[in-house]
Structure 1
């Protein structure tokens, strides 16, 4: 269904003038986070070649940009890393005069504290991180909350994201704390609790965690909703559970790193992605929510009404957006190294 719908949407894309002289740009983005057809259509319309490299965590992206300093024209950090990189003067301000489609974004996703007035960032997609379970397995049937992940029956059957903030969210929420907690005592409690979860973990994977669920390598995974959406489309027995304790919501944005060379091409691509039809095509294919308010008319009803992709207000109310935690991130990372060393 998705491929057919995507093809239909793409045939409806309105034409835009060819970009003078063609050109190219270098996009550094999460794995499996933009449809090939969307990129190919942009190149057909503008002549601009998009060179894509992938990463599997904000930490990996940040470290590479910090170290290299140049080589990429667009990156896709989550909101907490937009705030961090903005504070560290790692981003270039956007030229809003070249982003004529910016007004298509829903106001609740713009002018956020991590980037007031969207000086440096364009919202790309938002979503959640919760629990995907294979209900065909006894281990999967038993999981309804984060606390259930500590069930001894899950030993060796659990997948966790290779992401320090998302993994700490599991423990912080079961302890009754905010996922943006910076209290050293609370973080130590979360670390100790997570140490006891390690025996259950078969793999840390943020590249394509749905594969381990679909292959039966794991019965339960803490995954992003888009991964759960695709897995559920292929195997309806894989369900997505929003834990009662709460869970993380996130907003990923497109930014231009300070070492970017192809600025006109980067702005052309940003403006293209802000078109409602393009935003709808991305959401439909990837299974994540678009912040583009005008895209809904292009999104098929079975996607638009799917709680995995677009949670109801009641479900969304239990979520909490990841935010920049400042210097406390150093503590998280120190514990993360120790936690991964205990695998």
Structure 2
């Protein structure tokens, strides 16, 4: 009997030991998981040294994944396969994600370094009062030209792109809002126009501009301009910065009369499982020295006003990438136009791409 009791007690002890071990392992895994931050960002859009620095300072581990378009990012977050703690969408996409209830409202009391962001880049139409997002980088849409063939005065207005001397020479970034925006801006209309007459007028004017196009592409613009296989291109300031660093004959101009002012902001998706870590990382990136380091590495303009003091004057005084207040007053941020007008812009754009053929 005593042997049986001892055997039963032994079995119970083993069960308790196994159960306790399993509980401990689960707790350990949970603790480990709470130190992982899943970040979803554009490719090569952060200085890797800053990730290492953050991990050493905080003990968190960044699991970094990349996307190549706002639409791809939106689709994956909607699917919910991965619980991303941080993402970096562009302005209009933030507005779309808000409408779809995919974002967590921000507790700004957990972001004391938000005070370093210039007021010029806060409270934008796509996210009033920055309830859901924090500015990361910003820039413009403009024209890159090679000074061996042209000068700034040749491209300092959108209307000048219609000059017959550019026949078959201009590379355009592939985008409906961008190409239609050139036509709208050249006529003095809003880049967010929902006026059918204005859109049709822009469409008809852009027909003749297609004959000046060398190609309508995406990443290929950098290679063509750097290798001087193309002389002029319409692209974003961030892309232009990379081109200029590779070829001293290239320059970037923001045309007079208005252009797109774009933002990439950091958000916390609603499915985030490590919101505490997300806040820690955002606040870390808002530190002026870290923001300056990131801006110098990436080459895009920082919205962090205090960070400017840590950047070389050659960068902050460069009006190509840090335009004046007067220039910025003419710029517009893309807004979510709604399904009807997004489709209209896309349809007109596709017709223009076909028209050239």
TM-score (norm 2): 0.80
Shift in Å at residue 260 of structure 1? Answer: 3.0
1:285 is matched with 297
Could you say which residue in structure 1 is the equivalent of 2:144? 132
Q: Which moved more, 1:323-332 or 1:195-204?
A: 195-204
- 2:36 aligned residue: 24
1:37 aligns with 2:77: no
Cα distance in structure 1, aligned partners of 2:58 and 2:110: 15
1:72-91 aligned at under 5 Å gives the runs 72-91=84-103
Candidates 212, 220, 233, aligned match of 2:232: 220
Q: Which has the higher helix share?
A: 2
Name the counterpart of 2:23: none
- 1:260 maps to what in 2? 272
- Greater shift after overlay, 169-178 or 131-140? 131-140
Residue 186 (structure 1) aligns with: 198
Q: Secondary structure at the match of 1:182?
A: coil
The answer to whether structure 1 residue 108 and structure 2 residue 83 are counterparts is: no
Rg larger for: 2
**Distance apart, 1:121 and its partner CA:** 0.6
Secondary structure of the residue that 1:217 maps to in structure 2?
coil
Against the structure 1 CA distance between its residues 57 and 104, is the aligned structure 2 distance closer, same or farther, given a 3 Å change threshold? Answer: same
1:317-336 equivalences in 2 (<5 Å) = 317-327=329-339, 328-336=341-349
Contact 1:139 1:154 (8 Å CA) reproduced: no
CA distance in structure 1 between the partners assigned to 2:40 and 2:168 by the alignment: 33
CA distance in 2 between partners of 1:30 and 1:341 (Å): 30
Number of positions where the alignment pairs a residue of Structure 1 with one of Structure 2: 325
Report the Cα offset of residue 101 of structure 1. Answer: 1.6
Q: Following superposition of structure 1 onto structure 2, how do residues 91-102 of structure 1 map, counting pairs within 5 Å?
A: 91-102=103-114
Give the Cα separation in 1 of the matches to 2:88 and 2:106.
14
Contact 1:123 1:251 in 2 (8 A): yes
Match status 1:58 vs 2:70:
yes
2:159 equivalent to 1:143: no
Q: Aligned residue for 1:302?
A: 314
- Give unmatched runs, 5+ long, in structure 2: 1-30
- The offset of 1:174, in angstroms, is 1.2
How far is 1:271 from its partner? 1.2
Q: CA RMSD in A?
A: 2.9
Shift, 1:132, TM fit: 0.7
Which digits, 9 at most, give the CA deviation of each residue in 1:74-106, with x for residues without a partner? 222222221222122121222334323222222
Superposed CA deviations along residues 270-329 of structure 1, whole A, max 9, x for unmatched, are: 111111111111222223222212212211111111112211223323323333333422
Is 1:247–1:319's contact at 8 Å kept on the other side of the alignment? yes
CA distance in 1, matches of 2:39, 2:350: 28
Provide the rounded CA distance (Å) in 1 between the counterparts of 2:61 and 2:267.
18
Q: Which whole-Å deviations, capped at 9, do the CAs of 1:132-182 have from their partners, x for residues lacking one?
A: 111213599843432233344434432222332222211111122111111
Q: Does 39-48 or 210-219 show the bigger shift?
A: 39-48
Partner SS state of residue 332, structure 2? strand
